[in-house]
Amino acid sequence: MSKTLGVLGGMGPAATLDFLAKLQAATPIQREQDHLRVLVDINPKVPDRNVSDSDPGPVLAAMAAGLKNNGAQVLAIACNTAHAYASEVRASGLPLVDMLEAAGQAARAAGATQVGVLGTGLALSLYRDQFAHQGLEVVTLDDHEQVEFMALLYRVKKGALGQDSREAMAGLAHRLVGKGARAIVAGCTEAPLVLKAEDLAVPFIDATEVLARACVAACLAHDA
């Protein structure tokens, strides 16, 4: 039997649904019953991870504990920035599949050492630390471009998934390529809602999809 996955989601809800779709697509099956059992807490009430005086840690810890109490055996956070509170989630005692670590492994597999990351300020700090351990250099937007990204992020969170948003996100990714990035990581779960591989001439690493594959591997590992 595969392990039961618990997902801390809702940050935001559309991004969590995107993750679940990618999780299903990544699962090897011969029949319906081969899919993973997944417990999902879609909680858009988690305090904003991008506001300096908010503290999402206790809410995320409670979500992790609730998922464990309901039978989860492995945890995943469907939000890059919320990995800043990974220690609170791991306090549940369950293993956490690390989205940022998985994204770094995918970047290395793509042969890139200079990696552009589209993410929030806190997520970028996490990516710098994680990627440094993996021998990768993070390429980031300039300050004014990062302001553009954050404004776009909040529009996407409100449901702006049209052509304007797609062109704006691709434009920001192209600026990272212009700064020397040899691959682009969608380091915010809203980014792949409006950015696809075909928008870029360098490898595109969708951290949401990478996390989905890593979760499948973690839940099936004991069957090997």
Tell me if residue 215 is catalytic.
Answer: no
pLDDT in tens, the chain (224 residues): 899 999 999 999 999 999 999 999 999 999 999 999 999 999 999 999 998 888 999 999 999 999 999 999 999 999 999 999 999 999 999 999 999 999 999 999 999 999 999 999 999 999 999 999 999 999 999 999 999 999 999 999 999 999 999 999 999 999 999 999 999 999 999 999 999 999 999 999 999 999 999 999 999 996 44
Amino acid 53: pLDDT: 84
Alpha-carbon span 90 to 36, nearest angstrom: 21
H/E/C letters for each residue in 94-109? Answer: CCEECHHHHHHHHHHH
Sign, Cα dihedral of 161, 166, 171, 173? positive
pLDDT at 224: 42
Structure tokens, 1: 């039997």
d(CA 63, CA 186): 25
- Measure the CA–CA gap between 210 and 53, rounded to whole angstroms: 31
Which residue of the set 15, 79, 185, 219 is catalytic?
Answer: 79
For 5-34, give the DSSP string.
Answer: EEEEE-SSHHHHHHHHHHHHHHS--SSGGG
Residues 97 and 64 sit within 8 Å (Cβ to Cβ): no
- Structural domains of the chain ordered from first start: 5-99+210-223 (3.40.50.1860), 100-207 (3.40.50.1860)
Report d(CA 128, CA 131) in Å as an integer.
Answer: 5
State the catalytic residue, choosing from 188, 202, 205, 214: 188
Catalytic, 219? Answer: no
In Å, the largest CA–CA distance within the chain is: 50
Residue 183: what pLDDT? 98
What pLDDT was estimated at residue 142?
A: 98
